[in-house]
């Protein structure tokens, strides 16, 4: 059976405009996206183009001579690529940005009459008590108050939604990690990179190193192994619309050791490769089965 979003209002629309993707429901979306099995998303457009190329190589897909991977739709906010049954698209930074993409992607895949696909976020993060380069597969996203919920103000009231992931699916991915240092853990999600993540190195800071360490230790004791900026809304959205989801992030720093991301560009690329390797193994597992 093909995928349906729960929203009934849009069924009345003659044409639904997926404004930020530059696509609409009058287009041959079934022809373009009907076969999608995995949607990979990550922050940066350049990284997601590289991921599309890596998917092409991993799945052994040969493009016609003289052609290359090109974005579909418009690219001023998000750049979306498709290789075989895999979409690779960037979501920008933070929960408002990824939320817009998630709504439009879910509707896109409904109009495309796609079925049985998984959303995979491949990201970077700050680790807590794990060495840089570790890959954390998120079992539950916690907000900045360490609550397993995503809060959104809707029509003047706060609506809270649960932020768990499917742990059996997480374990399946862990088993595909091979030699990459990977673990399951909770992820704290902040709406800010500096104060929201307890850093001392923003433009201002009103707490002490001791305050920071006490909070990071409390988060670690609650099972948090990394901090990023999208996981709560990603989990809440996918739970709400019934799409299986994975949040696979490499850590760039151990926040118990410091705040600055000071590894060399080569090291940072190598850390990101860890998350990409795990995600590609999952993509191959899904597509080749």
Look up tokens 């680790």; give the residue.
Answer: 127
Under 8 Å CB-to-CB from 141, ≥6 apart: which residues? 148, 150, 163, 165, 186, 187, 188, 189, 231, 232, 234, 235, 236, 247
- Tell me if 197 contacts ligand URA by CB under 6 A: yes
> Does 229 sit near ligand R2B (CB under 6 A)?
yes
Looking at 42, 85, 94, 126, which residue binds ligand URA (CB under 6 A)? 126
User: Quick check: 193 binds ligand URA (CB under 6 A)?
Assistant: yes
Decide if residue 95 touches ligand R2B (CB under 6 A). no
Stretch that binds ligand URA, among 22-30, 65-73, 158-166, 222-230 (CB under 6 A): 222-230
Distance separating alpha carbons of residues 126 and 134, to the nearest angstrom: 10
- Nearest approach, Cβ of residue 90 and ligand URA (Å): 15
- Which contacts (CB < 8 Å, 24+ apart) does range 53-62 have? 53/83, 54/276, 54/280, 55/83, 55/84, 55/86, 55/88, 55/280, 55/283, 56/83, 56/84, 58/280, 58/283, 58/284, 59/83, 59/84, 59/86, 59/283, 59/284, 59/287, 59/288
> What character string, x for contact with ligand URA (CB under 6 A) and - otherwise, covers 149-188?
----------------------------------------
**Which residue is listed with tokens 């305050």?**
211
Please identify, using beta-carbon distances, which residue of 105 and 190 lies nearer to ligand URA. 190
24-43 positions binding ligand R2B, by CB under 6 A: 43
Residue with smaller CB distance to ligand R2B, 111 or 165: 165
Judged by the rule CB under 6 A, the positions of this chain that interact with ligand R2B are: 43, 93, 123-125, 193, 228-230
In the complex, the residues that contact ligand URA under the rule CB under 6 A are 124-126, 193, 197, 227-229, 252-253
């Amino acid at each position: 059976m093909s995928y349906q979003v729960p929203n009934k209002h849009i069924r009345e629309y003659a044409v639904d405009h997926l404004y930020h993707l530059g696509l609409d429901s009058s287009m041959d979306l079934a022809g373009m996206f009907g076969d999608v099995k995995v949607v990979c998303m990550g922050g940066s457009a350049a990284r997601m183009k590289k991921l599309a190329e890596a998917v092409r190589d991993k799945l052994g897909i040969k493009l016609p001579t003289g052609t290359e991977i090109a974005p579909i739709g418009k690219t001023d906010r998000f750049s979306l690529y498709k290789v075989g049954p895999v979409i690779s698209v960037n979501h920008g930074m933070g929960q408002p940005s990824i939320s817009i993409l998630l709504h439009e992607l879910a509707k896109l895949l409904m109009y495309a009459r796609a079925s049985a696909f998984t959303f995979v976020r491949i990201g970077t993060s700050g680790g807590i008590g794990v060495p840089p380069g570790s890959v954390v597969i998120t079992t539950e996203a916690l907000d900045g108050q360490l609550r397993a919920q995503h809060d959104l103000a809707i029509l003047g009231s706060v609506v809270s939604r649960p932020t768990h992931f499917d742990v059996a699916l997480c374990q399946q991915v862990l088993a595909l990690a091979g030699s990459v240092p990977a673990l399951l853990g909770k992820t704290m999600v902040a709406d800010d990179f500096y104060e929201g993540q307890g850093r001392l190195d923003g433009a201002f800071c009103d707490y002490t190193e001791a305050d920071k360490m006490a909070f990071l230790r409390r988060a670690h004791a609650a099972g948090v192994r990394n901090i990023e900026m999208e996981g709560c809304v990603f989990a809440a959205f996918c739970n709400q619309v019934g799409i299986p989801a994975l949040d696979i992030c490499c850590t760039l720093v151990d926040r118990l050791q410091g705040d600055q991301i000071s590894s060399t560009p080569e090291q940072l690329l190598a850390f990101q490769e860890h998350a990409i390797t795990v995600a590609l193994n999952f993509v191959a597992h899904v597509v080749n089965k």
